[in-house]
With several copies, the nearest count.
Chain A
């Protein structure tokens, strides 16, 4: 191990995060729960504070220069997201609270308008509840059929299985880009191609991918893609939905209220153009400014660089996890993202997490909001997940901690 040199000096990156600075009242943490949420760099925190302090005003409503400036910052954030995802134009980006809201928006607005009785929606067995429950509900509401694309025993999706599932009644394939449990990186471009060949649309849940690898919506050729700011070094309360413009134009509004109509009278109503049509009410303005700064942070390192570094770290982690007796890791190896869900002997994952927490190592345990997948894997798992500020020392600490867990529960 010792001879590997890594492409990033993570300690340099941690210096950009207040969370990792010594604090008189807080224990300093080895944070390995990045799939749940990432920490925030100073640049993001300051961009948000600075907005509240000096530029705060409501957007899109005539009157004064401060409002125009706030609108400009808000629209600049939209443009930044469009560029980040390589969308064709900013109007293809709708701001939402996060991934969950974005998928709900698509399932309600597009789904209720375009999925009819007898139609089919395909989702995978590894979906997070965010990409599962909206489709279960839609299928029930519309009398449509929800088809489940099962995973292989090593935690992958087999494209041949999809070919079998697709029919002329299939309207949508909804798939996660990187599984928040298995760490598998799904071949979304191929999946979109197969869906399109069958006349279906394709939705990609990119919650776990955008902060860890380059994501290009035109290269993937997906119809919908969404992510959450808080998993990409940004604030909570903001996320983005990408959708092809023609779809946004055809879809009815989701939430309704101020800002989404050109004119309303008791008799007549004219909707605004997208994306305004989908952003009823005062949007998360300060949060959009924070997301803008978060994407700048990511690109200041470079997504290809981040991907390569996390890949090196993942290889290191995979080797070291093998050293722990009785540890069963889920998902494919060695090609995978830095998300490691595992079981250890018969020790309950919650107990694993507690012993690690007492050693100031933060991991997560449970079903990770993917209950059907949990059932397939045999129950709860412990999960460690990486971000660009982690390094081998963190993985070493995790391994040492797991040995301690074994000891506490009498495995020696």
Chain B
């Protein structure tokens, strides 16, 4: 049952996170918390010409929240704000079970769909994405 949740790709991102770290200023920093479990994701990002030119995350949390943040930084780097927005919505809808994930558009991220059957874990998977949404909102 938890094979679906703990897919190899997730455990891999958890053990070898991409995009982990901090950026030098100038940067936008946004914190996200999941108070019930203590997960914390802090995003550093830089916007240039309407694109996310660079993005890093740090903080701590469970395998799902960390893998999700890792996948996210990989996926959104270089994207325009509009593209990032669309991706956020797609991922959130997939994770909440409101829509199927499109493997062509999402790549590895479809692995996050496994949380659907673990309602308590949905917030872990969405934390990084909500935090990015918040960062983009306050930056624009």
Contacts and interface: CB of A to CB of B under 8 A. Distances in A.
Interface of A: 60-65, 67-69, 72, 259, 261-263, 270, 272, 348-351, 353-355, 357-358, 365-367, 371, 374, 379-380, 408-410
B120 A354 contact: yes
Contacts of A62: 34, 36-37, 120, 123
B2 A366 contact: no
Contact of B119 (A65, A353, A365, A408): A65
A409 B123 CA distance: 21
Interface stretch (B61-69, B72-80, B89-97, B104-112): B61-69
A409 B5 CA distance: 12
Contacts, number: 77
Interface residues of B, number: 27
B109 to A, nearest CB: 19
B51 interface: no
Interface string B40-82: 1000000000000000000011111110000000000000000
B33 A270 contact: yes
A325 B65 CA distance: 25
A235 to B, nearest CB: 23
Top-7 shortest CB links A-B: A348-B62, A350-B62, A262-B33, A68-B119, A62-B37, A366-B37, A380-B38
B119 A358 contact: no
Contacts of B64: 350-351
B39 interface: yes
B124 interface: yes
A68 B120 contact: yes
Given A348-B62, A350-B61, A408-B2, A367 B37 contact: yes
B1 interface: yes
Given A351-B64, A380-B37, 4 more contacts: A348-B63, A349-B37, A358-B2, A365-B37
A61 B121 CA distance: 11
A62 B36 CA distance: 6
A351 B60 contact: no
A28 to B, nearest CB: 17
Contacts of B120: 62-65, 67-68, 353-354, 357
Nearest to A258: B35
Contact of A367 (B31, B38, B119, B124): B38
A102 to B, nearest CB: 22
A395 B106 CA distance: 42
A350 B124 contact: yes
A218 to B, nearest CB: 25
B38 A408 contact: no
A409 B64 CA distance: 12
B119 A351 contact: no
Contact of A350 (B1, B37, B40): B37
7 contacts: A62-B36, A62-B123, A63-B120, A69-B119, A358-B1, A366-B36, A380-B37
B36 A351 contact: no
A349 B62 CA distance: 7
Contacts of B1: 358
Contact of B33 (A69, A72, A263, A374): A263
B119 to A, nearest CB: 4
